[in-house]
Chains A and B, each alone.
Chain A
Amino acid sequence: MTHIILREKDVPNIRELDVYLANEGFDGLKKAVSMKPSEVIDEMKRSNLRGRGGAGFPTGIKWSFIPQSEPVKYVVVNADESETGTFKDRQIMENNPYQMIEGALICAYAIQATAVYIYLRGEFWDIAHDLDERIEAARAQNLVGDDILGSGYSCEVYTHLGAGAYICGEESALLNSLEGLLGQPRVRPPFPAQKGGGLYKEPTVVNNVETLANAPYILRVGGEKFAELGTQQSTGTKVICVSGHVNKPGNYELEMGKHTFRDLIFEMAGGIPDGKGIKAILPSGGSGPIVPATDEVLDTKLTYEDCQSIDTILGSASVMILDETVDITWAASKMTKFFKHESCGKCTPCREGTFWLDKVIDRILRGEGKRSDVELINNVAANMQGTTLCALGDFAANPILATIRHFPEDFYAHVDGDDEKAPVKAAGD
């Protein structure tokens, strides 16, 4: 398959503007500016592209929510890439940066935005610096700035660095951070697309890097052609970030619905090191429910809908593989620590729940837990789910709820049967 997103694998040096231009670069934007903005949105709708940031919301529909009557509108590119196990946006921005810029400008034109902000996680300072130079190079070719490609449409592109918080990948916290406020999610409604809910209260589209990098291709070949790839509900390709116990971790761009977890792990990623058995899969990093590596799971296709059928999510497709040696309680503890560290603290169940879960699971790992502690964390996590202000609270409950559901024995191994003190066991760290 030729790549749509990871094109550097087919076209070396596509990161350079001349190479990009020589390989259909900015043809999508050229096409777009020759169309009416609403036609661009229709084209995106026809593609059925779903957001690659995790929630999988249909992109064309998102763009169509922007009220055209408002004079000031923004596009924000979510390059915070902070989901555990994701590293695809980084690769896109490092190796095929113009495609993201082009996609963002297509979106900007479609909603007639006044500016594009690329919000990068703080650790991406070198990428931001590089992007700044590329934006200037594009400006020199009349691709950014005033009167883009002679179309009469003008749009600026800025980069902005975050300060190192997972929550700032959540779109409304991201907007707060971009405005210089504390990175905490906002109450919705109003949603970012609505007046009052977006950047500086103006209607705003927030899209993931990968999502936008699809737009040039869609404009070039047409939404219908794009939708021929993948399944009806999961069109196009998806960059899958594979990590953990595999021989060849990395990003793999796959047409959706054509491959299973088994293909991904054993063919593309080269199987499990040292010939060990596979125990579990985290299809969407720490934030999605874990699944045991049963045959049913391994034969599940990589699509939004198929993942749902096995009670997990494709999310941003950061697939982490855990081999048979992993103590799932330890893994649950690691993930819980992550969410405790990253909870913004704005709402009660997540702020207090992650803190409490961490205390109890530590106790269990130290061998000082009781059988009832396993029920306790299960119950605490259940009480968090569905009651928080943003999805991080729901994410934070998953590592407990799903791990206990699928691997209760891993937990009970740390506590003895009669609710008394259990002997200390190796925790695997």
Chain B
Amino acid sequence: MSDNMVKIIIDDVEYEVPAGMNVVDAAKWHASNDIPVFCYHPKMEPVGMCRMCLVEMGTLQRNPETGAVMTDEDGNPLVRWFPKLQTACTQVATDGMVFRTNTQAVVDARENVLEFLLTSHPLDCPICDKGGECPLQNLTMAHGPGESRMNFSDKMKLDKHVPLGDLIFLDEERCIQCGRCVRFQDELVGDDVLAFHERGRTLQIITNSDPGFDTYFSGNTTDICPVGALTTADFRFGARPWELTEVPSIDPHDAAGSNISLSVRLDRDFGGRAMIKRVMPRQNEYVNELWISDKARFGHHFTRSEDRLQKPVVDGKDSDWATAISTIAGLLEGADGDIAAIAGSGMSNEDLFALRSLVTANGGKRLGAWPTTHTGADLVAAVGVGVGTNLSDLGAGDAVLIVASDLEEEVPIWRLRLKGAHDRGAYVVVANARKTRMDDFASATPRYQAGKAAHWLDGIDKADPEVAKALKAAQNLVIVAGAEGLTLDGSRALMQSAANFLIDSGHYGKANNGLMSPLPGPNGMGLHYVGFTPEVTADIAQNPPKVLIVAQAEILSDDPYARAWLDKVETIISLNLFPDAVADMAAIALPIQSFAERDGTFTNGERRVQRFYTAQGPMGDALPAWQALSRISEHMGQGKAKASAAAVMVMMSNELPAFEGMRYRELSRTERQFPDISGDDMYYGGTAYQNKGGLGKVIPTTAEQGETPARADVSLPPVLEVGKGQFVVLPATRLYNLESTFRPSTLVHPRIMSPFVEVNAADAARLDINNGDVVEVKLPDVSVRVRASVNGGAPEGALVLPRHLTDDPTPMTVAVGEIAKV
């Protein structure tokens, strides 16, 4: 028996379990004994509220002198039983604990608690969204009384459609007051926007934020709610759980690569084709545990948007694939090898590989990544977080540095998990030019001058010696380096500074140490591994090619300065979900499928290659990008078109060392994860947690592959010249915005901020700008009218201008501009 294992007895069988393990968890994990619970959730502190987990509990009697367990005449151990039943959820395992979970007293207690709960519960299972996957239903079937002694007419009559916000509805009658939703928001998210109101039988859930339920994680409460009290505006009354097929997928919105499950059914509203009815989290304890952001949950509507590009367009006219392919073949042949490509991160690894193959086979060399805000993925590949990293492992003694990123807005799941690290005692540093939400969960919040993140980190020993010391001394150190308020050069410098810091302090090449970056989109690391870089994009902009293939990169919607150089490209071939401005100027626009309509893999910010599966019927004639591209290759005699994404992966894994061994079968492997919410689970609620699609596989860093990473000199970008009356304009990311992959989710529209610029209060006072005033922000060749927000968010001398809130693009990288009241 190892030091931290103890022996406990459950129903007369002895088990060895880790000391301090919650008894409900220990019973389930080690004894396959499902002690029923409602309020307990293994990710949160126990509260002992529902009383469903009552068990008999005792301790072994020991001889006070010898410490030996005392026995009766028959040799059975003597147990000192507690006079009352005890809640298992509030007990942690210590040596010599004894439990009985199958005695009459326990059976009665379970039946009684269920009877009590049902006295107030409405009988609307037949119209309840949770019906079919409801812990209350399941546990009533297993442990409940056969009939009710409560007069039906005596039941509480309460409001059944209380909007807690725009996204979540509360049915007050169904709520069993378990408090999971409140605790999730308080403990795990740190947005304490829910609360209990009143007391006794009138105790109810309320929201106390304005707007209601103001958080990016609200949907998770509907999953953990053990009844149908909380439902999403998206799925409410949309389908019955047993009609749904769960298709494993990956959140296509950010670098976390949250594992999701797309619940689909053949639906009348979608012409009888398979349609996403809801998005649920899929357990991957390394990536997103049991949680997803509301963007992941509610941001799937773009896949079915009527605005999707549905047919190939050749010379401005709807066409067909055969025509489009032969036209493209002709264009490529005529380009004399002056071909380049720019790809966005919505492209899967397979798509990118097919694109790379096509470009290189036709003499092209330049593969650009979009957007050109972030770089340094090569450094993530070198000194990124090691294989086996789990942000949930970070705690006391460890450190995290988040620099130049508004993590809440960029990768909300990382922000959630790193808040957890802070709660567990990790030293979390959030360095930025301005205040961000993550500051609330930080141990230190150093500020640097707008645009000077790399200067700060490179000189941290002088600028913030205490912080530097603490970071270096940490047992494990993770650096999350973004690119907020930087130029591409600034981003490079920051990433290099971060890499140097890690190399100097030895925090790389092992689990829970190294570099991460909130690269935009789901496949920023995939772009790197297949050879697409933002530096090449910059080069393409400098020296436009004859033929440019633009794949899932909405360059003109992102960058106000791109038209100038795109105009110089002779021929543009566009592959996109939407007929965006690039498609408009393209000779040929090809409709491609979204992540939901086909299968493939993304490589997340922790370099985990993860599969997503075909879930939804295709839109129009759209094809997977890899397929369209490899058909062009075939047409040009450059190899047979691949039959499946899996086949592309086989080829890729043979050609690109990073993908060695990444066969689909490998990627779809799962393992038993804690907490164990296997399919026959009766109490955690939600059918979609179970991971049947695989945990994915991490590409090891080059450091782990035996390459010694070398620190490199940081070339600090020139300091911005800010004239009199001018401001540094910092672009910022908002999670909810008008990007084409989010805009169609109209139910979230009330939560999308109307366009604004943050102005420092002192600056605003000087310029006589008040909160809410309409102002004009003038930048070179661009000007936007937005409302001023004077709330302390912007540092003096700087303006924070969130991107993608206006119809016309605002600058992607830091710039110098002016502001005036209109």
Complex-state Cα separation, A61 to B156, whole angstroms: 45
Given contacts A345-B199, A383-B116, contact A356 B50 (CB under 8 A): no
Q: Is B444 an interface residue (CB 8 A)?
A: no
In the assembled complex, the Cα of A330 lies from the Cα of B753 at a distance in Å of 59
Within 8 A of B (CB), among A222-274: none
CB 8 Å contact bits of B138-153 with A (1 = contact, 0 = none): 0000000000011100
Q: Which residue of A lies closest to B202 (CB)?
A: A345
**Which chain A residues border B112 with CB–CB below 8 Å?**
349, 383, 387
Residues of B within 8 A of A183 (CB): 199
Nearest CB in chain A: distance from B106 CB, A:
11
A355 touches B196 (CB 8 A): no
Q: Which of A182, A348, A356, A388 contacts B195 (CB 8 A)?
A: A182
**List of 9 A-B pairs having minimum Cβ-Cβ separation, nearest first:** A345-B203, A352-B116, A355-B201, A343-B200, A383-B112, A187-B48, A359-B154, A345-B200, A386-B84
Give the distance to chain B from A353, nearest Cβ to Cβ, in Å. 6
Within 8 A of B (CB), among A347-373: 347-349, 351-356, 359, 363
- B201 partner, pick from A184, A354, A383, A386, beta carbons under 8 A: A354
For the complex, what is the distance from the CA of A355 to the CA of B50, rounded to whole Å?
16
Contact A351 B200, CB 8 Å, known A182-B195, A187-B46, A386-B85: yes
Q: For the complex, what is the distance from the CA of A348 to the CA of B196, rounded to whole Å?
A: 15
Q: Mark A161-193, 1 if CB is under 8 A from B, else 0.
A: 000010100000000000000111001000000
With an 8 A cutoff between CB atoms, is B137 at the interface? Answer: no
B120 at interface (Cβ–Cβ under 8 A)? yes
Pair A347/B48 contact, Cβ less than 8 Å? yes
| CB contact under 8 A between A344 and B46, given known A356-B119, A387-B85, A387-B113 | no
The docked-state distance in angstroms from the alpha carbon of A359 to that of B156 is 11
Query: Inside 8 A of B196's CB, which chain A residues have their CB?
Result: 182, 184, 345
Indicate if the CB atoms of B48 and A355 lie closer than 8 Å.
Answer: no
Min CB distance A4 to B, Å, is 35
29 contacts between A and B (CB under 8 A): A182-B196, A183-B199, A184-B196, A343-B200, A344-B199, A347-B48, A347-B50, A347-B51, A348-B116, A351-B116, A352-B116, A352-B120, A352-B201, A354-B200, A354-B201, A355-B119, A355-B120, A355-B200, A355-B201, A356-B150, A359-B154, A376-B149, A380-B149, A383-B115, A386-B85, A387-B51, A387-B54, A387-B112, A387-B113
**Complex alpha-carbon distance, A183 and B176, angstroms:** 19
Q: Which A residues touch B650, using CB under 8 A? A: none
Q: A346 at the A/B interface (Cβ < 8 Å)?
A: yes
Bound form: Cα–Cα A165–B109 in Å:
28
Contacts of A351 in B (CB 8 A): 116, 177, 200-201, 203
Q: How far is the CA of A356 from the CA of B152 in the complex (A)?
A: 11
Give residues of chain B (451-504) contacting chain A, Cβ–Cβ below 8 Å: none
A354 CA to B199 CA, complexed, in Å: 12
Give the residues in chain A near B156, CB-CB below 8 Å: 355
Query: Is A342 interfacial (CB 8 A cutoff)?
Result: yes
Alpha-carbon separation in the docked complex, A311 to B473 (Å): 64
A302 to chain B minimum Cβ distance, whole angstroms, is: 27
Q: Is A341 located at the chain interface by the 8 A CB criterion?
A: yes
Which chain B residue lies CB-closest to A394?
B84
Min Cβ gap B4→A in Å is 20
CB distance from A121 to the nearest CB of B (A): 15
The answer to whether B119 touches A352, judged by C-beta atoms less than 8 angstroms apart, is yes
Tell me the bound Cα distance from A428 to B539 in angstroms: 93
The answer to whether B19 has its CB under 8 Å from any CB of chain A is: no
Q: Select from chain B the residue with minimum beta-carbon distance to A166.
A: B199
- A292-315 residues with Cβ-Cβ distance < 8 A to B are none
Q: How far in angstroms is the closest Cβ of chain A from B611?
A: 42
- Assembly CA distance A118 to B203 (angstroms): 28
Q: Is B653's CB within 8 Å of the partner chain A?
A: no
Report B73-131 residues with CB < 8 Å from chain A CB. 84-85, 90, 108-109, 112-113, 115-117, 119-120
Q: How far is the CB of A268 from chain B (nearest CB, A)?
A: 37
Residue among B47, B199, B202 with most chain A CB within 10 A: B199
Shortest Cβ distance from A358 into B: residue: B201
Q: A184, A340, A352: which has the most chain B beta carbons within 10 Å?
A: A352
- A343→B199 contact, CB < 8 A: yes
Determine the chain A residues whose CB is within 8 A of the CB of B120 once the complex forms.
Answer: 352, 355
Chain A residues lying within 8 Å of B716, measured Cβ to Cβ, are: none
Given contacts A342-B199, A353-B116, 11 further A-B pairs with CB under 8 A are: A340-B201, A343-B201, A346-B47, A348-B177, A349-B112, A351-B177, A352-B117, A354-B201, A356-B154, A383-B116, A389-B48
Q: Which residues of B contact A353 (CB under 8 A)?
A: 116
Chain A residue numbers with a CB within 8 Å of B46 are 187
B108 neighbours in A (Cβ, 8 Å): 383
Query: Could you tell me if B85 and A345 are in contact, using CB atoms closer than 8 angstroms?
Result: no
A386 to B150, CA, bound (A): 21
A contact residues around B85 at 8 Å (CB): 386-387
CB B425 to nearest CB in A, in angstroms, measures 15
Separation of A343 and B202 alpha carbons in the complex (Å):
10
Q: Say yes or no: B48 contacts A345, CB within 8 Å.
A: no
Chain A nearest Cβ from B489, distance in angstroms = 49
CB distance from B696 to the nearest CB of A (A): 38
Cβ-based interface call for B49 (8 A): yes
Cα–Cα, bound, A349→B117 (Å): 8
Question: Does B199 lie within 8 Å of A347, measured CB to CB?
Answer: no
Taking the closest CB of chain B, its distance from the CB of A381, in whole angstroms, is: 11
List the B side residues contacting A347 at CB < 8 Å. Answer: 48-51
A421 → chain B, closest Cβ, in Å? Answer: 14
**Cα A348 to Cα B115 with chains together (Å):** 10
> Contact between B200 and A341 (Cβ–Cβ < 8 Å)?
yes
CB neighbours of A343 from chain B (8 A): 199-201
What residues of chain A lie closer than 8 Å to B119, measured between beta carbons? 352, 355-356
Contact of B199 among A165, A348, A383 (CB under 8 A): A165
Chain A proximity mask over B22-58: 1 for CB below 8 Å, otherwise 0: 0000000000000000000000001111111010000
Residues of chain B from 159 to 213 with CB closer than 8 A to chain A in the complex: 176-177, 195-196, 198-203
Contacts of A359 in B (CB 8 A): 151, 154
| Docked-complex contact B51 and A342, CB < 8 angstroms | no
Known: A349-B113, A351-B177, A389-B48. A342 touches B200 (CB 8 A): yes
Tell me the smallest distance from the CB of B230 to a CB of chain A, in Å: 18
User: Smallest distance from the beta carbon of B173 to chain A beta carbons, Å?
Assistant: 13
Complex contacts, A340 vs chain B, CB 8 Å: 200-201
- Chain A residues with Cβ below 8 Å from B202 are 345
B118 (CB) vs chain A CBs: closest residue: A352
Report the Cα distance A97→B51, complex, angstroms: 41
Q: 1/0 per position for A204-237, CB-CB distance to B under 8 A? A: 0000000000000000000000000000000000
Closest Cβ of chain B to A399, distance in Å, is 16
Q: How far is it, in angstroms, between the C-alpha of A342 and the C-alpha of B203 when the chains are bound?
A: 11
Chain A nearest CB from B151 CB (Å) reads 7
How far does the Cβ of A197 sit from chain B's closest Cβ, in whole Å? 13
A354 to B201, CA, bound (A): 8
Q: Which residue of chain B is the closest to A388 with respect to CB atoms?
A: B51
In the complex, A187 Cα to B46 Cα: how many Å?
8
CA distance A380 to B112 in the complex (A): 9
Shortest B710–chain A CB gap in Å is: 48
CA distance A356 to B203 in the complex (A): 15
Q: Is the CB of B116 within 8 A of A349?
A: yes
Distance in angstroms between the alpha carbons of A340 and B85 in the assembled complex = 23
> Which A residues touch B52, using CB under 8 A?
348
CA distance in complex: A338, B198 (Å) = 16
* Alpha-carbon distance A184/B51, docked complex (angstroms): 15
Measured in the bound complex, the distance between the Cα atoms of B139 and A348 in whole Å is 15
- In the bound complex, what is the Cα–Cα distance between A237 and B704 (angstroms)? 76
Specify which of B49, B117, B195, B198 lies most central, judged by the most chain A CB atoms within 10 Å of its CB: B49
A175 CB, min distance to chain B CBs, angstroms: 15
Which chain A residue lies CB-closest to B201? Answer: A355
State the CA gap A371–B115 with chains docked (Å).
21
Least Cβ distance of B6 to chain A in Å? 17
A225 to B17, CA, bound (A): 52
Query: For residue B112, which residue of chain A has the nearest CB?
Result: A383
Residue pair B51, A344 in contact (C-beta under 8 Å): no
Q: Which residue of B lies closest to A386 (CB)?
A: B84
